[in-house]
């Protein structure tokens, strides 16, 4: 069995590794330069079940992440924690610097005999019909080439009219195992610890064009909402526009679309890469079923994948979108009513358990 992967990001490398463990030959094609991503302040939150999954294929990967035991949620109007999710016996999720986890995963592929990677002009390579016919399956994670534009152009889109500002703060050493999400009037602000003296910040600020947003203004907003850290410095800022996007079709012929470009969601819950990891798990399950019955890998597996995973991704993505819209609306509710609502949910152990399982494992 032979599979081609188009792309060179973290998703592509993880997918390559797990397929290789299934004794499948993998050829990876790419043209983008990953140097920029490796110098980024970007971090990734990975849920407990997904960390355990990755650790089966990348031994010791959990050690390079910073484990989070508790998640607290508050709003600007009600600064005390409105909702708390914690795990006394284990961790809720772990936060990884993108650079660290990327290098860790990539290094594990060096000794794989059935793995080859090729740097090439994707458009020139992929438009050739003989390329598609030379592989059982082609998995396109790049989705920015001629092939993708031809096969996967139909999407459901929503503009959040927001921009995410990402940085890392250096601060005085503390026990740093609690992630905090503040739904401020400017937009959701997440504090994600990556060590006892460093914390990643993701601030999704509403961009209504009424006032210019610059780095100084973002820093002042962060300082206004920070009540925990004695900040010594800010690392560089990066920003990107926020949009909601769901691909309408996942496959065409023997080509499967995969990764962030398939489902782009709001970063407030840190679930983007976790959705992709769940997609990988289900794809492996389908491969195991094919192998069990001695069947070849063909487009039928792509049809089964779309049929069984697409609706789950739609529900989950819209659930994250609902959370975003709810907290935008919450500030319009009478404060007393809003407070009672959160007190009820915070005391409801069944609700909190269900939400924790959903966030960890998906649907």
| Domains of the chain, start order | 2-157+252-361 (3.50.50.60), 158-242 (3.30.9.10)
Mean pLDDT of 273-299: 91
Residue of 312, 316, 184, 150 lying closest to 244 (CA atoms): 316
Per-residue pLDDT tens over the stretch 1-10:
899 999 999 9
Q: What's the pLDDT band for 36 if we cut at 50, 70, 90?
A: low
Mean pLDDT of 12-29: 95
Q: What's the pLDDT band for 349 if we cut at 50, 70, 90?
A: confident
pLDDT at 214: 84
pLDDT at 347: 84
pTM score, whole prediction:
0.92
Per-residue pLDDT tens over the stretch 44-85:
999 999 999 999 999 999 999 999 999 999 888 776 777 888
pLDDT at 316: 95
């Amino acid at each position: 069995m032979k599979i081609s992967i188009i792309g060179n990001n973290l998703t592509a490398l993880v997918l390559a590794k797990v397929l290789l463990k299934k004794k499948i030959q993998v050829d990876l094609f790419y043209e983008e330069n990953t140097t920029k991503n490796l110098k980024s302040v970007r971090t990734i939150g990975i849920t407990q079940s997904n960390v355990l999954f990755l650790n089966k294929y990348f031994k010791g990967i959990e050690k390079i992440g910073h484990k989070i035991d508790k998640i607290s949620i508050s709003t600007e109007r009600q600064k005390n924690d409105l909702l708390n999710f914690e795990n006394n016996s284990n961790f809720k999720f772990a936060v990884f610097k993108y650079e660290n986890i990327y290098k860790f995963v990539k290094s594990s592929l060096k000794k794989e005999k059935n793995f080859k990677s090729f740097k090439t002009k994707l458009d020139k390579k992929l438009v050739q019909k003989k390329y598609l016919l030379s592989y059982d399956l082609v998995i396109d994670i790049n989705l920015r080439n001629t092939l993708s534009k031809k096969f996967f152009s139909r999407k459901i889109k929503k503009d959040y009219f927001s921009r995410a500002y990402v940085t890392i703060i250096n601060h005085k050493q503390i026990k740093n195992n609690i992630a905090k999400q503040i739904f401020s009037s400017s937009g959701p602000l997440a504090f994600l610890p990556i060590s006892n003296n460093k914390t990643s910040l993701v601030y999704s600020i509403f961009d209504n064009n009424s006032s210019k947003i610059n780095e100084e203004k973002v820093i002042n907003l962060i300082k206004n909402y920070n009540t925990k850290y004695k900040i010594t410095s800010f690392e560089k800022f990066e920003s990107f526009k926020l949009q909601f996007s769901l691909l309408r079709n996942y496959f065409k012929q023997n080509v499967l679309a995969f990764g962030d470009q398939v489902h782009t969601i709001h970063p407030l819950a840190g679930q983007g890469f976790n959705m992709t990891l769940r997609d990988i798990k289900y794809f492996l399950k389908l491969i195991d079923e094919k192998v069990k019955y001695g069947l070849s890998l063909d487009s039928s597996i792509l049809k089964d994948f779309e049929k069984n995973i697409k609706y789950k991704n739609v529900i989950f993505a819209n659930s994250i979108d609902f959370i975003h819209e709810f907290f935008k609306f919450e500030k319009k509710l009478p404060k007393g009513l809003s407070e009672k609502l959160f007190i009820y949910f915070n005391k409801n152990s069944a609700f909190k358990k269900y939400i924790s399982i959903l966030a960890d494992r998906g649907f």
